[in-house]
Chain A
Amino acid sequence: MNQAQRSLCRALVLSCIVIGYASLGLGQASDPKSSAIIEQIMTAALSRCFSTVNAVKRITFAPPTNQEVDEVKALGKEAVAPLARYLDLQPKDDFTQLYAVKFLTAIGGSSTIGPLKRAFAQDQWEVTRAAALSGLFAVSHAEAKPYVEAALNDRSQLVRQRAHHLWSLY
């Protein structure tokens, strides 16, 4: 990723964060320090998705590093609200939302149930939705059950397949 791409990427993320704050309103408070750390991690992760090899650009989903996961888990519940804001970014790039879901799943616990339910909404990418369903299932089988059951007839084949698999684990 060259300097121009990085600047574009960072600008995209930052603008989305502002929109996200506005859309989520004051309902989910978080301390500025946690938000700044999450922003830094999300920016770094997303930037790795853009690469150039032999002068050919490509976009791939680069998994979060162990260090990034550890830092987010260290923030614990403080990271939930900042991560949740990324779910409502407009326009969605899908990778950002998927990162948010993966980090929320890594945190775990009841505080992530709400955001994970949000990530399962129809306006998300099917890969994000399937990941949110798995994350919800991992956090609480009972909370996930109505969502898994509903997803058995989801319009996305990927989500349906995931739901059938999870349903078999009840």
Chain B
Amino acid sequence: MRVNQNPSRLMACLSVVSLVAFMLNSGVPAPFDPVSKRPSFVLQSGGLAYKSYPARTQGAPSSMMQMPMVIPLFIQNQDFSSTLVLTNSADQSTYADVILMGTDGREITRRRVEFTAHSQRNIDIAPLLQSVLSGSTTGSISIMQSPELLGAVILGQLSMTHRGTHDSTYIDEEVAMPTTMGSQLLRGVADAGSGSPLLAITSLSETGQRVTIRCFPSKGESRSKSVDLLPGETLLTEACAERTIHGAVMESFAPSEPTEHRSLTGPMGISLVSDAKPGSFVAFGLVPHRKDGERFFSTLNFSDPKMLLTATTIFTGVPVGPTTLLREANYVPNLSLTNFSAKDLQVHVRYAQTIGATPTTKEIAALTVPAGSSTEITFDNLQGDPLQNSFLITSNGAPGDLLSKLVSMSGSALHQVEMAGKDENDMDNTGSHPWSLEGGTESTLLLFNHNTKPQSFDVAISGNGVRWQSTYHLTPMQTEAISIRDLIEHKVKDETGKTLPRSAQSGQLSWFTGAPGQGKGRLLQSNRAVAMARNFSCGAPGGLCSASFVPGITYILLGSGTTNFGTAFGIQCTADPNNPRPCFGTFNGPGSGYQYNWVSNDHNIILIDHSAPSGQGNAVFVNGVAIGSTGVHAQIYDSQGCNASTGGIGHVTSPTYFFSPSAAQTGTPSVCVINNFRGYFLDVSYYVADSSSSRVSDSGMAPGENLGDGTGWHDAYTTPNTTNSDGSFDDTPFGACYPPSVPTHYCEAGPPQSFRLTANSTVYSILTHNTSRKCTDGIQLVIQGNPSAQNKTYTFGNIQ
């Protein structure tokens, strides 16, 4: 079975790709079609106009079958409400199918959820049940993203709310995706509670299976029991007590809760072993608590030890002490540990605290956890920034031997703040989270660089049609808290000068680091007034998968010095969790931290001068060496071995001619009219052409004229003073008016016009030259010196 490399979550919030065919039980859709081609991507992010010749990327995706994401437990009754929160990290519109199933495995209803690019959707479970008049209160949820998508694009979790006697508590259940690459074993750690944890075990098999549940308490011997899981069933059972009720719903356990189950229990490790093949079940648990007569729950998440890569677990952005973002209280970290192995393990707890932007790291605990037992540590004397604190838990065991759970406890109505632990080398180097500021909610992105080198985090926040992108640079062991409300209210500009609009109150957020094992991130949604804190830490692998080119000046003037040819952007994709090289997937947007090598196909025409970072991309500056055209492209690499290339065709030209497409008569100026002068005036349109008669489409070139009258060159005679981006300009007003004293029809030769062009301080001679005849009742302009097809004569009125 393949699960997410997440030590404290069972296959946490991974998406819908697997190497194996997969069949749910009756009432569940048949296997989805294999994905055998790349979708047609449409880049929309950042307002960038991606213009380039087709980018080259390496590798093609293998044919894959889809698997659903699974949420093992939803509860929707008078005590619990459930909302499915999904995000789309792709730079394209898409959809996902949401399927509700009862505890008996039968489908209750399904709903297709549409997404715009980089968006989030909240799906309340109650109306879905009501829409089919279902009386079900408990079950599981399956989520299938569009088969057109590659990689883990749709991510999400179930946000449950438990309404207590006085206050509500908030439970976050991340989605799981099982695969056959893992084992038949799941492990999890429950914090100290009041009674046995309640487990929901969901079968994903078409055959029955037996699951052995073993509890590893802090005191006494471990105990175990076995349950038989029917195909497709969601079985509710008390992990460390006897009760197992097939077909039960949540209410089956609440009313008759035995007294002994309310007794205080210490931390508890729980392992689940199935006799079915890997990938046949998922599980989630609720840990009951009682405090001052109030009943509330914390979460119990599972992970597959086979899929963990290290023996270090990282918790990012842990509240320590008082914080204005949370209900007023002193928050104290509490760490629960279980040693599932048969030998004693040495455990070290490191605390990385950041004040301002300066991190300090120290070991705050070193202990031995005996074989097959659980323990807990409360850090009640810890000082810290309210949120910029992270923990690293390391043991000398094998990955998965020691698992941990960390919560921040308080004496307030917000009893516990939970956060997901992540394996140090977790393959997920991207995150996709929902954010909200509605109803006084705050959203804070927490980033942690646990690497020994400085690390860049690309952050993209989408809301109300705007995508805000910026790169945060964190020093080793630095935790950074980023308030989305602050970004909006302080009108913080991103790397392209954009700000998030005040009207944006919710949306989707992505973060990305260059490679796995370098940084972690999570989003905290909190509301001080209602004592709410929710954790969102879904992630996926990501890598460089494509590139795009935004051209600058591609018509390079010969001898004009260094020219900004354009900017290349490496495009980051959300990738397939099952592929060891995440070099393809669904487009997420431009990423940073890539290496760019610029190459000219012909150094005798265009020479690369230098390149420099430009926003999230890399700009190249070139010199035109000789007249001609050649390709200039960037080869882009990331630290995971992915590469892509992009670029454009450059043309080295020498401005030679002014070609005129048209001329039009203008109104007579008042200065003539008020003096009773008569005459004709024209607006003559031109554009710059090179020696091969090709248009030089470049702005900022200054055409100049010389009338041979001793006043010299006039380099601002045109309208506008310099060329438009298509190399065009106008000569207006061209003409003359004469006094009443001359005959009604009077003509004279106008002064000859000769031309030049100035660009980048270089002056180019222009071969075009004009003569004219100006009359009281007509005008003629003769354009010469061009290739014959471009020589023109404009005649208006009587010029004889």
Using a CB–CB distance below 8 Å, which chain A residues touch chain B?
48-49, 53, 56-66, 69, 91-95, 98, 102, 105-106, 125-127, 130-131, 134-135, 137-138, 156-158, 161-162, 165-166, 168-169
Contact = CB atoms under 8 A, between A and B. Distances in A.
Contacts of A59: 669, 671-672, 675, 677, 679, 736-737
A165 B733 contact: no
A26 to B, nearest CB: 28
A69 B736 contact: no
Contact of B670 (A57, A94, A134, A162): A94
Interface stretch (B238-246, B543-551, B576-584, B710-718): B710-718
Interface residues of B, number: 44
B671 A57 contact: no
27 contacts: A49-B671, A57-B738, A57-B741, A58-B679, A58-B736, A59-B675, A60-B735, A61-B734, A62-B711, A64-B716, A65-B711, A65-B714, A69-B715, A69-B716, A91-B670, A93-B671, A93-B674, A95-B671, A105-B720, A127-B666, A127-B733, A130-B683, A130-B732, A131-B732, A158-B683, A161-B664, A166-B724
Interface in B689-738: 705, 711-717, 719-722, 724-726, 728, 730, 732-738
B739 A66 contact: no
B669 A158 contact: no
A56 B737 CA distance: 11
A146 B488 CA distance: 27
A147 B733 CA distance: 22
Nearest to B700: A138
A31 to B, nearest CB: 24
B663 to A, nearest CB: 11
A151 B713 CA distance: 33
B122 to A, nearest CB: 35
Contacts of A65: 711-712, 714
Contacts of B258: none
Contacts of A48: 711
Contacts of A127: 666-667, 669, 681, 683, 732-733
Contacts of A166: 724
B671 A94 contact: yes
B671 A106 contact: no
Given A127-B683, A169-B726, A66 B714 contact: yes
A57 B739 contact: yes
B713 A157 contact: no
Contacts of B670: 91-94, 125
Contacts of B722: 138
A102 B671 contact: no
Contacts of A131: 719-720, 732
A66 B703 CA distance: 12
B178 to A, nearest CB: 51
A135 B675 contact: no
B651 to A, nearest CB: 19
A55 to B, nearest CB: 9
A91 B738 CA distance: 20
B21 interface: no
Interface in B70-103: none
B733 A102 contact: no
B719 to A, nearest CB: 5
Contacts of A61: 669, 681, 733-735
B720 A157 contact: no
B742 interface: yes
A135 B683 CA distance: 16
B720 A56 contact: no
Contacts of A168: 726
Contact of B664 (A49, A92, A125, A157): A157
B468 to A, nearest CB: 18
B714 A56 contact: no
B748 interface: yes
Given A63-B714, A158-B683, A56 B736 contact: no
Contact of A126 (B666, B674, B713): B666
B665 to A, nearest CB: 9
B669 A125 contact: yes
Interface string B739-753: 101100010100000
B720 A66 contact: no
Closest 7 CB pairs of A and B: A63-B717, A94-B669, A93-B671, A63-B714, A134-B720, A60-B736, A94-B670
A56 B738 contact: yes
Contact of A169 (B685, B724, B730, B736): B724
Nearest to A57: B739
Contacts of B728: 165
B716 A102 contact: yes
Nearest to B719: A131
Nearest to B670: A94
Contacts of A135: 720
A169 B725 contact: yes
Contact of A53 (B711, B730, B748): B748
A130 B586 CA distance: 47
Contacts of B739: 56-57
Contacts of A49: 671
A65 B716 CA distance: 8
Contacts of A91: 670, 674
B622 to A, nearest CB: 24
Contacts of A130: 683, 719, 730, 732
Nearest to B683: A158
Nearest to A125: B669
A142 B667 CA distance: 29
A56 B774 CA distance: 13
A146 B676 CA distance: 37
A65 B683 CA distance: 20
A82 B715 CA distance: 23
A134 B675 CA distance: 29
Contacts of A125: 667, 669-670
Contacts of B725: 169
